[in-house]
Structure 1
Amino acid sequence: MDKTIKIILAILFFLCLIDMPYGYYQLVRFVALVGFTVLAYQANKQGKQTEMVIYGALALLFQPFFKIALGRELWNIVDVIAGIGLLISLFMNPKEGRN
């Protein structure tokens, strides 16, 4: 399940680089909040405290309720870094997502 969440989030983040309607970015924020919260919970359950903190911080960054205004260019950089980080984490933890 973790693997699926990471792939979906990475795809959503990379699609943010394309000029999309504003509603898409709102959807991405909500899905990212839920996805990163689930990933943080799973990391905590597995005793991976560093990953839990990273996913928790990302959930707070992407949450749609109290928006952090970074500007389009900076958000694009954040999206790319988060997407690449999620894809890299798939290869660093190859056993992850098999449960």
Structure 2
Amino acid sequence: MISKSIKIALSILLFLCLFRMQYGYYEFVRFSAFVGFVFLAYQANQGGYNKSIFIYGTLALLFQPFFKIPLGRQIWNIVDIAVGVGLIVSIFIKKDNRQL
């Protein structure tokens, strides 16, 4: 249940990045996304979902707040939309991809 809430919250934060915001908002989103994706990767690890661990770990590295990845505003907008839509879609997909 908490994973769904995190996915919805992160999606909303990422979609709001499409608007012109103060730079502090983007820093907040990067930190929140990092923490959220690390938690989702941990939850996936607990459930044995290896593909999800890799995806959430990669997203945590992409959004990490320590070293900014300069992709440019247009590419970040595409990333924000793709990740936001992916998070929403992942809520409705039945997880059956466990691998040992």
- Which residue identity is paired with 1:32? A
1:68 aligns with 2:69: yes
By how many angstroms is 1:13 displaced? 0.2
Matches within 5 A, 1:9-48: 9-48=10-49
Select between 49-58 and 85-94 the one with higher mean Cα deviation.
85-94
Cα-Cα RMSD: 0.9
Q: What TM-score do the two structures reach when normalised by structure 2?
A: 0.92
By how many angstroms is 1:80 displaced? 0.2
* Structure 2 match to 1:97: none
* Structure 2 match to 1:82: 83
CA–CA distance in structure 2, aligned partners of residues 90 and 45 of structure 1: 17
Cα distance per residue 1:27-50 (max 9 Å; x no partner): 000000000000000001000000
By how many angstroms is 1:93 displaced? 3.3
CA–CA distance in structure 2, aligned partners of residues 17 and 60 of structure 1: 21
**Count of paired positions:** 94
Q: What TM-score do the two structures reach when normalised by structure 1?
A: 0.93
Structure 2: segments with no counterpart, 5+ residues: 96-100
- Which residue identity is paired with 1:50? K
**1:82 alignment partner, SS class:** helix
* Structure 1 match to 2:98: none
